[in-house]
Amino acid sequence: MSDDVNDVRRVLTMAFRSSKQLNPFDLERWLAFDMGWLAPHESEVAVAALIAAGWLTESGSDVEVAVPLGSVDVPLGWFPRPSRLLQPVKAAPPTTSKTESTANASGTNAAANAPLQTPSISASSKPSTTTSPPSTSEHVDPRMRVTQRLVKFIARTSGIDAAELNRRAERKQKAFRHVTPWLALALVAREQNLDMEAIVEALAVV
């Protein structure tokens, strides 16, 4: 899939992560002010262009995604090229190959025509009821230990006080839901045009 398509899919996945529908003005404000990807006048053009290209559809006074986006991966530090939002490629729903469709149909027919059987469960095949507790180390993010250090670094570099930084980071977490505090702070730092290499170094704890 081309980068032109991937950029649009990533933007829409992030924008509509917590809501199926958005007011166009809210979407424009998110593109321009929350994310800083476009100028205010460009965000209005981008929303209209996404509607014209078939990515978005109008639903009353709101807009919603018009095509399935599928599984979307958004790398850390990624941001879209403005031109891919101002002049988006035409949206096209994912297609299923003829071979895959035939195979699925054959499998469905075979399952429907197969005689019903009652599975027998032997003692050796019974699932074990003993489960091992998850390892604590697997669920601990080492970067959480440097969150406060990162707050102080961004505050000193940007001139924004720590309380305001935490407020903006909490806003990012509410908007994107599954975002760690340190990643939310990194997003705030990028909005302030700080040197992201320095942010990465500050997070390099392992």
Q: CA 197 → CA 109, 150, 151, 177, 190, distances in Å? A: 56, 13, 16, 25, 11
What is the reported pLDDT for 122?
A: 46
* Residue 182 and residue 144 in contact, taking contact as beta carbons nearer than 8 Å: yes
Domains in the chain, CATH or no CATH each: 3-86 (1.10.10), 140-203 (no CATH)
Q: Classify burial at 19, counting beta carbons within 10 Å of its beta carbon; exposed 0-12, middle 13-18, buried 19 or more.
A: exposed
- Tens of pLDDT along the chain (206 residues) come to 578 898 999 999 999 988 899 999 999 999 988 888 999 899 999 999 999 999 999 989 999 999 998 888 888 888 899 999 999 999 876 544 444 444 454 554 544 455 545 444 444 444 444 444 444 444 455 666 667 777 888 888 888 888 888 888 888 777 776 667 878 888 888 888 887 777 776 666 54
pLDDT at 165: 81
> Distance between alpha carbon 200 and the CA centroid of its chain, in Å?
20
Q: Is the pTM of this model over 0.75?
A: no
CB-count burial class (<10 Å; 0-12, 13-18, 19+) for 173: middle
pLDDT score recorded for residue 8: 93
Cα 90 to Cα 92: distance, rounded to the nearest angstrom: 6
Identify the pLDDT of residue 123: 45
Distance CA 69, CA 29 (A): 22
pLDDT at 99: 42
Beta-bridge mates of residue 15: none
